[in-house]
Structure formats: structure tokens, C-alpha cells
Amino acid sequence: MVSPVCEGAGSSLKIIESLSVGTTVISARSGAEGIYVEHCGSKLMLVDDRSWGQYVSTINIVRNKDLHLDPTPDEFYKTYSEKRVMETVLTAINTI
């Protein structure tokens, strides 16, 4: 999946959903803001905002190195599981 979104809301959820089903995502840095990139391994590749040539280069890297075949890391699922997300939400609510 290519996510060139640099502004607005909602792009992070689309990225997380894509990663959760094993899709490799190439995203603008600002579009992946708030995502724990270190938990995504090679499944999330970031490019500088509006660097269209970098998108093309990164797509070629993913294709040529078969990175799209890499599994989504277990750490991603631990971080973004429904249980973990609910724990984070409830903790935030309880601090209010």
C-alpha cells in the first residue's frame, strides 16, 4: 500500500489496518505520525513528505528484495491488539 498522505486525519488507522493484515506500507513520514515505527519492521517504510521519487525508489526496493513477503512482526500485534489499545484508552480515561 502506498500512503502519500501528508496532511489531515485518519491515515494512521489505514496504515495500522493494512499492517495488521500483512500488507507492506510505504508512507509519508507525517502520515505515519503516532505509529510506533520500530514495532513495524520492514512492513512500514517511510519516505519524506512529497518526495515522489523516493516513493518510486522505495517501491522498487520492496519489490526487488521481496520485502512484501516479510511477516508483520509480533511486536506490532502486541502493540496494536484490541486488548492493548483498550488498556491504553482506559488508562487515559482513568487519569482524567
pTM above 0.85, yes or no: no
pLDDT digits (tens, 9 = 90+) for 25-66: 999 999 999 899 999 999 999 999 999 999 999 999 999 999
pLDDT digits (tens, 9 = 90+) for 3-20: 988 877 666 889 999 999
Q: What is the pLDDT of residue 88?
A: 87
Query: Would you say residue 77 has pLDDT above 80?
Result: yes
Task: Answer yes or no: are the C-beta atoms of 30 and 12 closer than 8 Å.
Answer: no
Q: What is the pLDDT of residue 7?
A: 77
Query: What band does 85 get if pLDDT is binned at 50, 70 and 90?
Result: confident
Helix (H, G, I), strand (E, B) or coil at 54: helix
Q: What is the pLDDT of residue 73?
A: 96
Residue 78: Cβ-neighbour burial (10 angstroms; 0-12, 13-18, 19+)? exposed
Q: What is the pLDDT of residue 11?
A: 66
Task: Answer yes or no: are the C-beta atoms of 5 and 11 closer than 8 Å.
Answer: yes
State residue 40 phi and psi, 5-degree precision: -100, -10
